[in-house]
Amino acid sequence: MSVPFVDFKARVSAVRGELEAAVGRVLDSGWFILGPEGEAFERELASACGAKDAVGVASGTEAIQLALSVVGIGAGDEVVTSPLTAAFTGLAILAAGARPVFADVDPATLNVSPEAVARAVTPRTKALLPVHLYGHPADLDPLLQIARERGIALVEDACQAHGARYKGRVVGALSGIGALSFYPTKNLGALGDGGAVLVNDPALAVRLRRARNGGQTDRYHHAEPGINSRLDEMQAAVLRVGLRHLDRGNARRRELAAIYRRELANVGGLVLPVEQPYARSNHHLFVVRHPRRDALMAGLGERGIASLIHYPVPLHLQGAFAALGGRRGDFPVAEKAAGEIVSLPLYPEMTDAQALAVAAAVRELAARLT
């Protein structure tokens, strides 16, 4: 059975009528930037995430950049984050004018380790930027304690974690501020790019809205430096549709993850993701580990089953961060994981039969590769 990694056509088909109505509203309004759809989406998103406010921006990367900037991060500051994440996490730190500092990850969750973060903090550290990797919440309480003790900010990179929960509460603004991405593959995805900053401080929300719009206080009056990072009305309208279906989609992802866990339990050489007691993952990705990952992926591909790697090269070994002086061996847990991880197909439109076919293929291949 052929199984794609994600099926955008099925996703659109399931809500096509709602999408067409949403797009029609925007076309009829003649308002395409910073209008009523964006304002409504910000209110609905904040409510869904348990935040006091949400500020729509053009991408998840710029959501992180702006969040860091408004909490005072700039030139000469260090921001501690994970080396096992999308490069855009680190690039956003650079865009804010700061220096990424990496801390190794926990071997069970692959989220940044609080103990490693504590060791990475220096007098120049001005913020922590934990990533809720693959939709599984990072262990926030010890990280928040580190931030409080040192008087520094903690910004959540929740770009993969729409609707995920930490100790019963939706992540994204548990620290007071965090970033979301609406890249099409995300649990809450646009039909293009987009992002948002969740924020609990009204003063910071005002600054974010100014900063995303070139620092304007009113038309052609720029009180401070800013960037052009506005979530357009079309994407906001589309995202309002997606937000209505987010909980249902996340529940379906959990059902599919349960099938994988049941069918792949005790498969030799295969390490399954483990949900920690404090967490409720949104299963943005279902990432397993195998020492012969490349052979496993090749076998899946021969059977028509798509798979991907999130992420094959840790940030400290990426050319974009070469100036930081990272070397192989600096973060052994992240480096080992990067050589073993493989993401299996998992999306709400996927059928049980497809999930069972993927699991059967993985079982067969793992037995041969052991």
Q: What is the pLDDT of residues 348-369, one digit of tens each?
A: 999 999 999 999 999 999 999 9
For residue 233, CA distances in Å to 35, 62, 162, 236, 334 come to: 6, 18, 20, 5, 39
Instruction: Calculate the CA 53 to chain-centre distance.
Output: 19
Helix (H, G, I), strand (E, B) or coil at 155: coil
| Residue 220's CATH number | 3.40.640.10
pLDDT at site 158: 98
Q: Is the pLDDT of residue 241 over 90?
A: yes
Q: Which of 222, 240, 258 is the last residue of a domain?
A: 240
- In a domain, residue 2? The reply is no
Q: Is the pLDDT of residue 370 over 90?
A: no
The number of distinct structural domains making up the chain is 2
Q: How far apart are CA 141 and CA 128, in angstroms?
A: 13
User: Quick one: 273 and 154 in the same domain?
Assistant: no
- In a domain, residue 287? The reply is yes
User: Quick one: 114 and 236 in the same domain?
Assistant: yes
Q: Which DSSP category does 346 fall into?
A: -
Residue 6 CB coordination number (10 Å): 17
Specify whether the CB–CB gap between 274 and 368 falls below 8 A: no
Nearest to 216 by CA among 253, 225, 260: 225
pLDDT at site 318: 98
Q: What average pLDDT does this structure show over 203-227?
A: 96
pLDDT bracket for residue 1 (50, 70, 90) = confident
pLDDT tens figures, 246-294: 999 999 999 999 999 999 999 999 999 999 999 999 999 999 999 999 9
pLDDT bracket for residue 169 (50, 70, 90) = very high
Q: Is the pLDDT of residue 143 over 90?
A: yes
Burial of 236 (0-12, 13-18, 19+ CB in 10 A): buried
pLDDT at site 146: 98
Size of the chain, expressed as the number of residues it contains: 370
Cis peptide before 166 (omega within 30 of 0): no
Q: How far apart are CA 267 and CA 366, in angstroms?
A: 7
Enumerate the β-bridge partners of residue 308.
Answer: 343
Q: Is the pLDDT of residue 31 over 90?
A: yes
Q: Which of 189, 224, 240 is the last residue of a domain?
A: 240
Nearest to 68 by CA among 243, 248, 204: 204
User: Quick one: 223 and 258 in the same domain?
Assistant: no
pTM of the entire structure?
Answer: 0.98
Q: Is the pLDDT of residue 123 over 90?
A: yes
Residue 308: give the domain boundaries: 246-369
- In a domain, residue 142? The reply is yes
Instruction: Give a three-class secondary structure readout of 54-118.
Output: EEEECCHHHHHHHHHHHCCCCCCCEEEECCCCCHHHHHHHHHCCCEEEECCECCCCCCECHHHHH
pLDDT tens figures, 66-117: 999 999 999 999 999 999 999 999 999 999 999 999 999 999 999 999 999 9
- What residue type is 168 in one-letter code? G
User: Quick one: 222 and 303 in the same domain?
Assistant: no
- Supply 297's token pair: 């992926």
For residue 79, CA distances in Å to 71, 257, 260 come to: 12, 33, 36
User: Quick one: 333 and 231 in the same domain?
Assistant: no
Q: How far apart are CA 125 and CA 147, in angstroms?
A: 10
Instruction: Calculate the CA 354 to chain-centre distance.
Output: 25
What does the mean pLDDT of the chain come to? Answer: 98
- In a domain, residue 1? The reply is no
User: Quick one: 129 and 151 in the same domain?
Assistant: yes
- In a domain, residue 161? The reply is yes
Q: What average pLDDT does this structure show over 144-160?
A: 98
User: Quick one: 28 and 131 in the same domain?
Assistant: yes
pLDDT bracket for residue 245 (50, 70, 90) = very high
Nearest to 122 by CA among 153, 138, 101, 149: 101
The string of DSSP letters for 195-245 reads EEEEES-HHHHHHHHHHTBTTEEETTEE-S---B---BHHHHHHHHHHHHH
User: Quick one: 283 and 201 in the same domain?
Assistant: no
pLDDT tens figures, 7-20: 999 999 999 999 99
Q: How far apart are CA 368 and CA 350, in angstroms?
A: 27
User: Quick one: 40 and 131 in the same domain?
Assistant: yes
pLDDT at site 353: 98
pLDDT at site 218: 92
User: Quick one: 110 and 206 in the same domain?
Assistant: yes
| Residue 312's CATH number | 3.90.1150.10
Ramachandran category for residue 268: left, alpha or beta (phi over 0 → left; psi -120 to 50 → alpha): beta
Report the DSSP pairing between strands 279-280 and 216-218.
unpaired
